[in-house]
């Protein structure tokens, strides 16, 4: 049976730059244009992975920050959301049984983060 999943449901691409002194003139707003090699990844019985290429370009990058190579990219890949039930087991008369449960809505099936540098070097907790 084939299962089809929208694996690239949410791609978040963010730029983090160090503080730069204000200029006398009004600076142009930085922006980013991004694209994906594919929007969907089919998950079948023989699935062993897939390649996903993310590409983009900066609009009006700050020359000082760009020259120092201080732009960082963080990519978050989220699978489709679904409800998840978590149960607490406890021992009753020598047998482990489910007692309490909690349902969480919209939990991603998978979650992955890729960064240009270690996350702790890019941002604070």
Separation CA 29–CA 125 (nearest Å): 26
| Helix-, strand-, coil-residue percentages of the chain, each rounded to 5 | 10, 50, 40
The reply to whether 99 falls in a domain is no
Higher pLDDT, 9 or 37: 37
The reply to whether 32 falls in a domain is yes
The total domain count for the chain is: 1
The reply to whether 88 falls in a domain is no
The reply to whether 49 falls in a domain is yes
The reply to whether 58 falls in a domain is yes
Is 49 buried (19+), middle (13-18) or exposed (0-12) by CB count in 10 A?
Answer: exposed
3-state secondary structure of 108: strand
**Residue 125 scores a pLDDT above 70:** yes
**Residue 18 scores a pLDDT above 90:** no
Tokens of residue 38, six digits: 């594919």
The reply to whether 96 falls in a domain is no
- CA 65, distance to chain mean position in Å, is 24
The reply to whether 113 falls in a domain is yes
pLDDT 10s digits, 53-107: 888 888 888 888 878 877 888 888 888 899 999 999 999 999 999 999 999 999 9
Provide the pLDDT for residue 94: 92
The pTM is what?
Answer: 0.55
Which residues make beta-bridge pairs with 104?
84
The residue range of the domain holding 10 is: 3-80+108-122
């Amino acid at each position: 049976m084939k299962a089809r999943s929208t694996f690239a449901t949410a791609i978040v691409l963010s730029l983090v730059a160090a503080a730069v002194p204000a200029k006398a003139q009004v600076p142009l707003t930085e922006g980013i244009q991004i694209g994906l090699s594919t929007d969907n990844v089919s998950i079948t019985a023989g699935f062993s992975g897939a390649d996903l290429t993310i590409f983009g370009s900066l609009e009006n990058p700050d020359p000082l920050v760009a020259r120092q190579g201080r732009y960082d990219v963080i990519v978050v890949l989220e699978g489709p959301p679904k409800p998840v039930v978590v149960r607490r087991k406890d021992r009753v008369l020598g047998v482990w049984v489910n007692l309490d449960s909690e349902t969480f809505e919209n939990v991603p099936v998978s979650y992955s983060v890729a960064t240009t540098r270690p996350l702790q070097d890019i941002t604070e907790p």
